[in-house]
Amino acid sequence: MHVLPFTYQPQGQDWLRILPELILLAAALLVLLVDLALPQRRKSALALVGVAGVVAAFVCAAIMIGAGDHQTAFAGMIFSDQTALLADLIILFSAGLGLLLSPGYIERQGITQQGEYYALLLLAALGMMVMASAANLMIVFVGLEVLSLALYVLSAFIVARNRSQEAGMKYFILSSFASGFLLYGMALTYGATGQTSLQGIQRFLGGHALATTSGFGPLLIAGLGLMAVGFCFKVSAVPFQAWTPDVYAGAPTAVTAFMSVGTKVAAFVALARVFMVALHPVQTQWTPILWAIAVLTMVGGNVLAATQRNVKRMLAYSSIANAGYILVAVVTGTQTAFAALLVYLASYAVMNIGAFGVVLALERNDGLGTTLDDFAGLGRRRRGLAAAMAVFLFSLAGIPPLVGFAGKYYVFYAAIVGGHLELAIIGVLTSVIGMFYYLRVVWAMYFVEPQPATAPASVVVAPAPEPVLAATTAGTSGGGSGGVALAEPAIATTSTATNTPAAAEPLTAQPAHVTPGAWLALALSLVLTIALGIIPGGLFDLANRAASVLFH
Amino acid sequence: MTGAQIAFFVLAVVAVASALGVILFRNAVYSMLSLILNLLSLAFFFLTLDAMFVATIQVLIYAGAVMILFLFVVTMLSQDTSNTNGPDRLRWQAVAGVGFGVILAGGLIIALLNGSLAHDAHAAGLDTLSNAIAALGGNTQAFGWALFHNFSFPFEITSVLIVVAILGAVVLGRRLTSRN
């Protein structure tokens, strides 16, 4: 007689272990309900509801880290270990900052469906947390789909901007394709091991006699190869990076700030759990694949970023380059490398959201105003913003004593100790290219004179969309949005054709709007960029403890 | 050759041919119809694997409800084929795509033919699904037990996924109506 399988009953403690996720879900549903009761001009209050939910979930996750209960919940489906909780903290931090940056900005961009916007942002964060905590390939996939679906829609949220529509569509089509690869890889891995649980896969491969002799069958190799493709697409590693600049530049900047960080945290923690921990027994099989991708990503991301004149696109390419540094930690595959990966993700979150926050403050209603020429002379016009941007860029370039240096230092240290000196050398060399394009923006802000607008055509066209946009915001129907959509390509062509800082004049005419929430977000990331850079001990400690639990 | 093998080869040909039809037909309605055929042949595959419940659900939900909706949408939208018939300016991409596709397919065929460790897993008693069907006295019972016990968490999270999908459809759909 067989033992009865599948008898697991969820207990109260299972729900307690996913409390941060539950709080976030409740906040998202609450936002949708409150949205029905608020009049259109009061909708910014929804951001407050969202921020309250995020703060509650953040506090909850922080308390749970202190409590130190590293169990799985729901029959080994989801971890609530320190890695999961630390990832939760980073994701919640970026979601909170994304929410703070949104009010004001999304109204300027003519977004009227604010309830859905905030709810989708919270649900995307929920999907990221689930993916980062997943203890089973199935949960990895479902979490990934929750966050991806929400981000497709968020990317396409600006009705009046064709590039936002294009971003959403492009992201949707390419990302679904990558999801197919990931799912097929998971299916083959299941076929090879008979397990979807990460701990089960590790136990099965570790206890298998073939592990030491001839390696595993081609089925497992095909499975992990396809999974690597899927994950590398999601973290935008070269050669799967083509979508990243278009999507990051086209999406609303508040969404870009949030997703550039959140998606990376979720996908990299899941990637590390699958490859560094579950597939650890077959490390020799996947190291060459990820080694090549890491090198390509570091070189490709940095070289392409150096050719950009639009700061938003430059930051998109820089996020590709950063994915390369994090992949170095994955390839190294040791316990120290896992801790370094967590530290790097935290440091990247803090400084990158700040940099996008400054870009958001300078962006105009038509989505322009973010080229290098627009940054020229910013040090005199907007002292606060320019100083903050300089700090974020110095940190991204990896200059001590800022947090970016701490992250890079730890990753390269782990690579050298773990026997991948060559990756550390490539990493340091490509970081030098990084310094060039980050510091070029600082140079533009402080040492380049803003040129006056010369092209008369752009002066005629540029002011046109703003009243129309304002009308759309006020709630007019059809004609308004159509007009903007038609007007936009014209603007784009004039400004690219003139190729001169036509933006300089409209920029002074329309000063950067920074709402109190956005100031708070910038201040938070500024303080953390400096504080975590000077005293990184606490972060290192937390990451080391998290890694030691996984590699005990 | 046993009956199961004959059934497999017939079904395999139908499944692959209909899958090719989905992407090769120029008429969207034909594509939809061959997708239905493809889903039906998958349902028969599930039957040959003793997964009767999944086969029934496959027919009811996919081949039945979802695909009929698709078909409605395709027939109701105007069939503008002007874009699909234009000259392909990225011909090298198609060539490279076919090349990489052949490499990938070859790799997967080698992987699948060269067997797996799954029968080891089966021998080690890890194949809980067969055990469950035997112990619980049926497909549907085993499915239900699995869904609402050990797999209750993925089940719940999927409901969040559907909430996100509905929200997205509302956002994008309402905008379409306000634009026109």
Distance of CA A497 to the CA centre of its chain: 32
List, as ranges, residues 115-144 from B with C-beta within 8 Å of A.
115-118, 120-122, 124, 126-128, 131-132, 134-136, 142
Residue where the block lists tokens 């940099």: A355
Are residues B145 and B123 part of one domain?
yes
| Of A131-145, A247-261, A504-518, the least confident | A504-518
Are residues B115 and B43 part of one domain?
no
Distance CA B22, CA B14 (A): 12
Are residues B100 and B63 part of one domain?
no
Residue where the block lists tokens 């997708």: B35
Residues of B in contact with A114 (CB under 8 A): none
Residue B96 contacts A where some CB pair is shorter than 8 Å: no
Residue B39 lies in a domain: yes
Are residues B170 and B98 part of one domain?
yes
3-state secondary structure (DSSP) of residue A503: coil
Residue A372 has pLDDT above 90, yes or no: no
Interchain pair A152, B154: CB under 8 A: no
Are residues B109 and B52 part of one domain?
no
Are residues B110 and B72 part of one domain?
no
Are residues B103 and B58 part of one domain?
no
Residue B87 lies in a domain: no
Distance CA A286, CA A334 (A): 14
Are residues B137 and B57 part of one domain?
no
Amino acid found at B127: D
pLDDT band for position A4 (50/70/90)?
low
Residues of B in contact with A25 (CB under 8 A): 160
Q: Out of A153, A194, A481, whose CB is closest to B118?
A: A194
Residue ending a domain, choose from B56, B78, B100: B78
Q: What is the average pLDDT across A321-329?
A: 95
Residues of A75-94 as b/e, b for ≥16 C-beta within 10 angstroms? Answer: bbbbbbbbbbbbbbbbbbbb
Residue B84 lies in a domain: no
Instruction: Kindly report, residue by residue over A386-416, the tens digit of the pLDDT.
Output: 999 999 999 999 998 899 999 999 999 999 9
Residue where the block lists tokens 């005199």: A380
Q: What pLDDT does A212 receive?
A: 45
Interchain pair A218, B114: CB under 8 A: yes
Secondary structure letter of residue A73 according to DSSP = E
CA-based nearest residue in chain A for residue B152: A74
Are the C-beta atoms of residues A148 and A175 closer than 8 Å to each other? yes
Q: What is the average pLDDT across A520-537?
A: 92
pLDDT band for position A437 (50/70/90)?
very high
Q: What is the average pLDDT across A289-301?
A: 95
Interchain pair A6, B150: CB under 8 A: yes
Are the C-beta atoms of residues A374 and A503 closer than 8 Å to each other? yes
Amino acid found at B37: L
3-state secondary structure (DSSP) of residue A9: coil
Residue ending a domain, choose from B21, B55, B78: B78
Give me the percent of chain B exceeding a pLDDT of 90: 21
Q: What is the average pLDDT across A293-320?
A: 94
Tokens standing for A155?
Answer: 């990317």
Instruction: Kindly report, residue by residue over A452-501, the tens digit of the pLDDT.
Output: 654 444 333 334 344 444 333 333 333 333 333 333 333 333 333 334 44
Are residues B132 and B97 part of one domain?
yes
Q: What is the 3-state secondary structure (H, E, C) of A212-264?
A: CCCCCCHHHHHHHHHHHHHHHHHCCCCCCCCHHHHHHHHCCHHHHHHHHHHHH
Which residue in A166, A160, A297 sits closest to A235, CA to CA?
A: A297
Identify from B145, B147, B150 which residue to disrupt to test chain A contact, counting A C-beta atoms within 10 A and taking the largest count: B150
Q: What pLDDT does A195 receive?
A: 83
Cα-based distances in Å from B114 to A11, A192, B1, B120 = 43, 11, 21, 14
What domain range is B97 assigned to? Answer: 92-180
Which residue in A53, A50, A128 sits closest to A91, CA to CA?
A: A128
User: How many helices (H) and strands (E) would you count in chain A?
Assistant: 26, 2
**Segment holding A459, helix H or strand E:** helix A456-461
Residues of B in contact with A130 (CB under 8 A): 157
Are the C-beta atoms of residues A330 and A290 closer than 8 Å to each other? yes
Residue B129 lies in a domain: yes
Instruction: Kindly report, residue by residue over A141-190, the tens digit of the pLDDT.
Output: 999 999 999 999 999 998 878 888 899 999 999 999 999 999 999 998 88
Are residues B108 and B57 part of one domain?
no
Q: What is the average pLDDT across B95-115?
A: 84
Tokens standing for A32?
Answer: 């949708």
Cα-based distances in Å from A167 to A157, A162, A301, B126, B177 = 10, 9, 19, 44, 21
Distance between the two ends of chain B, CA-based, in angstroms? 60
Instruction: Kindly report, residue by residue over A236-294, the tens digit of the pLDDT.
Output: 998 899 899 999 999 999 999 999 999 999 999 999 999 999 998 888 889 999 999 99
Are residues B66 and B6 part of one domain?
yes
Distance of CA A78 to the CA centre of its chain: 22
Q: What is the CATH number of the domain that holds B69?
A: 1.20.120.1200
Q: Total domain count for chain B?
A: 2
Residue B23 contacts A where some CB pair is shorter than 8 Å: no
Q: What is the average pLDDT across A523-543?
A: 91
Interchain pair A152, B168: CB under 8 A: yes
Distance CA A178, CA A260 (A): 17
pLDDT band for position A325 (50/70/90)?
very high
Are residues B140 and B172 part of one domain?
yes
Residue ending a domain, choose from B34, B53, B78: B78
- The mean of the pLDDT values for chain B is 80
Residue A475 contacts B where some CB pair is shorter than 8 Å: no
Residue B43 lies in a domain: yes
Interchain pair A77, B153: CB under 8 A: yes
Distance CA A219, CA A240 (A): 23
Query: What's the predicted TM-score (pTM) here?
Result: 0.86
pLDDT band for position A111 (50/70/90)?
confident
Which residue in A266, A471, A277 sits closest to A365, CA to CA?
A: A471
Tokens standing for B74?
Answer: 């395709």
Q: Out of A6, A123, A130, whose CB is closest to B149?
A: A6
Instruction: Kindly report, residue by residue over A24-82, the tens digit of the pLDDT.
Output: 999 999 999 999 998 888 888 899 999 999 999 999 999 999 887 778 888 889 999 99
Which residue in B118, B154, B121, B147 sits closest to B132, CA to CA?
A: B147
Secondary structure letter of residue A274 according to DSSP = I
Q: What pLDDT does A389 receive?
A: 93
Which residue in A347, A205, A231 sits closest to A289, CA to CA?
A: A231
- DSSP notation for B88-106: -S-HHHHHHHHHHHHHHHH
Are the C-beta atoms of residues A418 and A335 closer than 8 Å to each other? no
Interchain pair A6, B118: CB under 8 A: no
Residue B85 lies in a domain: no
More confident residue, A496 or B42: B42
Q: What pLDDT does A6 receive?
A: 76
Q: What pLDDT does A457 receive?
A: 40
Tokens standing for A405?
Answer: 């240096």
Instruction: Kindly report, residue by residue over B138-172, the tens digit of the pLDDT.
Output: 778 888 888 888 889 999 999 999 999 999 998 98
Residue B120 has pLDDT above 70, yes or no: no
Residue B62 lies in a domain: yes
Distance CA A164, CA A221 (A): 38
Residues of A in contact with B138 (CB under 8 A): none
Distance CA A253, CA A274 (A): 31
Are the C-beta atoms of residues B18 and B34 closer than 8 Å to each other? yes
Q: A–B: how many Cβ contacts below 8 A? A: 155
Are the C-beta atoms of residues A72 and A13 closer than 8 Å to each other? no
Instruction: Kindly report, residue by residue over A186-242, the tens digit of the pLDDT.
Output: 998 888 887 889 998 888 888 765 554 444 678 888 899 999 999 999 999 988 998
- The mean of the pLDDT values for chain A is 85
Residue B152 contacts A where some CB pair is shorter than 8 Å: yes
Residue where the block lists tokens 């998971």: A186
